[in-house]
Amino acid sequence: MIRALRAVKWLLIAVAVVVALFPFYWMLRTALAPADDVFFDGISLVPTSIDFANFARAWDKAQLGDAIVTGVIMTGSILVLQLITCIPAAYVLAKVRIRGVGIALAIVIGCLLVPVQVTLIPTFIGINVAGLGDSLPGLILPSMTSAFGIFLLRQQMMSIPDSLMEAARTDGLGHVRTLTNVVIPMAGPGIAAFSVFSVFTHWNDYMWPLLIARSPDLATPPLALAIFQQGDIGFDYSALAAGAAIVTAPVVILFLVAQRRFVQGMSGAEIPG
């Protein structure tokens, strides 16, 4: 009976893995197949032949090299700024007993409820009034902090035992050194999880770069790929799949590297006391 249940469990997991990975596999299959193999009679899991021309076309036509560099600078800068703003804010909300912390936490949670689209146009106007339209800072600065990041890290830091904080205080550590020497190392999984989330979100963001990045040399990967999605003449699926495979690779590698900590952080693993 137990063996049968275990078999069913593994079967379900296998089905889930296939369902989750099949679109990714199909993207690679489409990217590697010759362009006229995209629409074929019947389903074939393997392309009739391997052709890397789609990758070359995607790279050249969408100028993916420049887009990836812009994307790396943008997502990297946003991540650094978010960590600089979110970690101290989360620390204050989790571990500093001062008046108003509860209200501040309520505001942070309230911000989580506001859809991004609501703040899009006011932010766009603000950034342009500040003279940062069509610039890299304009792409980065509106995302310099994250209510989700503050909340996630605060929850992670809440599980750090107060006795550790008292011990740090007894040893003469102030807030800054307590944060850097005690809290940050212990909140590592949460920070890693948020980092992966942040990179995923901003690497794949389409709407904000569409509004703010007008110069072709500021195009981010999703914007660059949009050139293959011209509805009124039909999509270039081969180039689109090849381009998507190229721009997905960095985030897949990042996820694989940070996988363990990401899962720990997202599952809210307790920090041992």
Partner 1 sequence: MPLKRLPLAIGALAASAALLSGCAASAGADPSASVATDIASCDPAAAPITVTFGPQASEAMAIAVANLEKKYPGLVVNAEPQSTTSYDDLTKTIVADIAVGKRPDLIMSGLGQLKFWVDTYQPAPIDTAALASTYQSQFLSAGTVDGTVYLAPAQISAPVLLVNQSILDQAGAGDASDIHTFDDLVAAAKTVTEKTGQPSVTIPAQGLADWYSQAFVQGSGETFVNADGTAGFGTDKGIEALSIWSTLKNDGLEMGLGDQDALAQFIGGKAAFMVYTTSVIASVQKGVNGAFDWMPVDLPSVGGEGGPLPAGGNGWIVLSDDGCRAAFANALVSELLSPDAVSGASGTSYSYIPVDSSAGEALLASSAATPQLTYAWSYDKPLSPWGGFAGAHVAEVNDAFRQMGQALQSGADAKTTVDQAVTTIDQIVAK
Binding footprint of partner 1 on the chain (CB under 8 A): 35-36, 38-41, 85, 88-89, 91-92, 96, 98, 104, 111, 114, 119, 121-129, 133, 141-145, 150, 174-176, 210-211, 213-216, 219, 223-224, 226-227, 229-235
**Least separation in angstroms between CB 178 and partner 1:** 10
CA distance 112 to 107: 9
Shortest Å, Cβ 200 to partner 1: 19
Cα dist from 126 to 145, 163, 207, 243, whole Å: 16, 44, 16, 33
* Beta carbon nearer to partner 1, 12 or 112: 112
Report the 10 Å Cβ neighbour count for 129.
9
Give, in order, the Cα–Cα distances in Å from 264 to each of 152, 157, 259. 12, 13, 9
Please report how close the Cβ of residue 264 comes to partner 1 at its closest, in angstroms: 26
Give 178 or 264: the residue with its C-beta nearer to partner 1: 178
Distance CA 134, CA 178 (A): 40
Residue placing its CB nearer to partner 1 in the complex, 151 or 262: 151
Q: What 3-state DSSP class applies to 116?
A: helix
Minimum CB distance to partner 1 smaller for 139 or for 261: 139
Nearer to partner 1, 17 or 69 (CB): 69
Integer CA distances (angstroms), 192 to 113, 185, 252, 255, in order:
23, 11, 15, 10
CB of 60 to partner 1, least distance (A): 14
Residue 24: CB minimum distance to partner 1, A: 19
Return the axis-axis angle of helices 2-32 and 237-266, rounded to nearest 10°: 140
